[in-house]
Amino acid sequence: MNKNIEILFFGKLKETWNTNKLKLKTNSDDIESLYTEILSKAAQTPHKESIKVAINDEFVDWQTAITDGDCIAFLPPASGG
Amino acid sequence: MNKNIEILFFGKLKETWNTNKLKLKTNSDDIESLYTEILSKAAQTPHKESIKVAINDEFVDWQTAITDGDCIAFLPPASGG
Amino acid sequence: MFTISETSINADKLKKQTLDPSAGGFACFEGWVRNHNQGKDVTKLAYEAYNKLAIKEGNRIIQEAHKKYAITKAFCSHRIGLLEIGDMAVWVGVSAAHRDAAFKACRYILDQVKARVPIWKNESWVDGESGWIDQE
Amino acid sequence: MFTISETSINADKLKKQTLDPSAGGFACFEGWVRNHNQGKDVTKLAYEAYNKLAIKEGNRIIQEAHKKYAITKAFCSHRIGLLEIGDMAVWVGVSAAHRDAAFKACRYILDQVKARVPIWKNESWVDGESGWIDQE
Give tens-digit pLDDT for B29-80: 999 999 999 999 999 889 999 999 999 999 999 999 999 999 999 999 999 9
Would you state the pLDDT for residue C134? 72
**Ranges in chain C, pLDDT < 70:** 135-136
Contacts of B76 in chain D (CB under 8 A): 120, 132
Cα–Cα distance measured from residue A9 to residue A18, given in angstroms and rounded to the nearest whole number: 9
Q: Check CB contact under 8 Å for C114 and A81.
A: yes
Total domain count, chain A: 1
Separation of CA C59 from chain center: 12
Cβ contact A–C (≥3 pairs, < 8 Å): yes
The chains found to touch D (3+ Cβ pairs under 8 angstroms) are B, C
User: Residue D135 pLDDT more than 70?
Assistant: no
Contacts of B33 (CB under 8 A, 6+ apart): none
CB–CB of C119 and A59 under 8 A?
no
C2-124 is classed in which CATH architecture?
A: Alpha-Beta Complex (3.90)
Domain extents in chain D: 2-124
Q: Could C53 and A76 be called an inter-chain contact, meaning their C-beta atoms sit closer than 8 Å?
A: no
Q: Closest by alpha carbon to C81, among C127, C120, C31, C37?
A: C120
- Give CA torsion, residues D110, D113, D119, D120, to 10 deg: 60
Q: Compute the nearest-CA separation of C94 from chain D (Å).
A: 10
Question: Could you give the CA distance from residue C119 to residue A11 in angstroms, rounded to a whole number?
Answer: 8
Q: Do D32 and C26 touch (CB under 8 A)?
A: yes
Cα–Cα distance between D120 and B15 in angstroms, integer?
13
Angle at the Cα of C6 (from C126 to C28), degrees rounded to 5?
A: 90
Strand-pair partners of C114: none
Q: Is the distance from CB of D30 to CB of D102 less than 8 angstroms?
A: no
What average pLDDT score do residues B9-18 get? 94
Please give the average per-residue pLDDT across D29-44, as a whole number. 84
Q: Residue D14: exposed, middle, or buried by beta-carbon count in 10 A (0-12, 13-18, 19+)?
A: buried
Which residue is closest to D94 within chain C, CA to CA?
C29
pLDDT at D136 over 60: no
Question: Which residues in chain D are closer than 8 Å to C26, comparing Cβ atoms?
Answer: 29-32
What is the value of pTM for the model shown?
0.94
Count of all residues that appear for chain D in the document: 136
Q: Which stretches of A1-81 are DSSP H helices?
A: 12-16, 31-38
Per-residue pLDDT of D45-77, as tens digits, reads: 899 999 999 999 999 999 999 999 999 999 999
Report CB contact under 8 Å: C119, A77: no
Q: Is D4 helix (H, G, I), strand (E, B) or coil?
A: strand
C-alpha to C-alpha distance for D87 and D79, rounded to whole angstroms: 9
Half-sphere exposure of C36 (CA within 13 A, CB side): 9
D residues 73..132 contacting B (CB < 8 A): 78, 89-90, 110, 113-122, 131-132
- Cα B80 from Cα D3, distance rounded (Å): 13
- To the nearest whole Å, the CA of C103 is away from the closest chain D CA by 7
Report DSSP letters for D96-129, one per residue.
ESSHHHHHHHHHHHHHHHHHHS-EEEEEEETTS-
**CB A76 to CB C89 under 8 A?**
no
Answer whether C22 touches D (CB < 8 Å). yes
Contact at CB, C103 and D29, closer than 8 angstroms? yes
What's the whole-number mean pLDDT along residues B14-23?
94
Q: Which residues pair with D44 in a beta bridge?
A: D124
* Residue B35 within any structural domain of the chain: yes
Q: What is the mean pLDDT of residues D123-134?
A: 80
- Reported as type and span, the H/E element at residue C23 is none
Rounded Cα distance between B21 and B7, Å, is 5
Distance from the C27 Cα atom to the nearest Cα atom in chain A, whole angstroms:
17
Cα D77 to Cα A42, D8, D13, D54, distances in angstroms? 56, 10, 11, 11
Q: How confident is the model at residue A30 (pLDDT cuts 50, 70, 90)?
A: very high
Q: What share of chain D is helix, strand, coil (3-state, %, to 5)?
A: 30, 40, 25
Does D31 touch chain B if contact means CB atoms closer than 8 Å? yes
Contact D132 B52 (CB under 8 A): no
| Domain boundaries, position B15 | 3-75
For the segment A15-20, the average pLDDT, to the nearest whole number, is 94
Mean pLDDT of A46-56: 95
Question: At residue D35, does pLDDT exceed 90?
Answer: no
* Contacting residues of D for C97, CB less than 8 Å apart: 34
Query: Does residue A71 lie within any of the structural domains?
Result: yes
The answer to whether residue A20 sits within a structural domain is: yes
Residues of chain C in contact with residue D23, where contact means CB-CB under 8 angstroms, are 32, 34
> What pLDDT score was predicted for residue C123?
83
Residue C65's φ and ψ, nearest 5 degrees, are -60, -40
pLDDT at A57 over 60: yes
pLDDT value of residue D23: 93
- Tell me the residues of chain D between 31 and 50 that have a Cβ less than 8 Å away from chain C: 31-37
Q: What is the CATH number of the domain that holds B44?
A: 3.10.20.30
CA distance C96 to C116: 24
What's the pLDDT tens digit per position in D4-26? 999 999 999 999 999 998 999 99
Give the torsion through C-alpha atoms of C92, C112, C55, A4, to 10 deg.
160
Tell me the C-alpha to C-alpha distance, in Å, between residue C122 and each of A12, A42, A72, C112: 9, 20, 23, 20
Burial A17-53 (b: 16+ CB within 10 A, else e): beeeeeeeebebeebebbbeebeeeeeeebeeeebbb
Amino acid letter, residue A40: S
In a domain, A80, yes or no: no
Count of residues in chain B: 81
CB D58 within 8 A of CB D124: no
pLDDT at D44 over 90: no
Predicted confidence at residue D129, as pLDDT, reads 80
Of all residues in chain D, the one with the smallest CA distance to C19 is: D32
pLDDT of residue D14: 98
Q: Could A78 and C119 be called an inter-chain contact, meaning their C-beta atoms sit closer than 8 Å?
A: yes
Q: Do A59 and C53 touch (CB under 8 A)?
A: yes
Binary contact (C28, D28; C-beta < 8 A): yes
Chain B contact set for D56 (CB, 8 A): 57-58
Give the residue, B25 or D125, on which the prediction is more confident.
B25
Q: How many residues does chain A have?
A: 81
A11, A54, A81: residue with CB nearest C132: A11
d(CA D45, CA D75): 23
Nearest residue in D to B75, CA atom:
D118
Instruction: Tell me what pLDDT residue D17 has.
Output: 97
The reported pLDDT for the residue numbered D34 is 86
Residue D131: CB atoms within 10 Å: 13
Residue ranges of E strands in chain C: 2-5, 25-32, 36-37, 40-49, 71-79, 81-83, 88-96, 119-125, 130-132
**Residue-level pLDDT at C8:** 97
What is the model's pLDDT at position D20?
A: 93
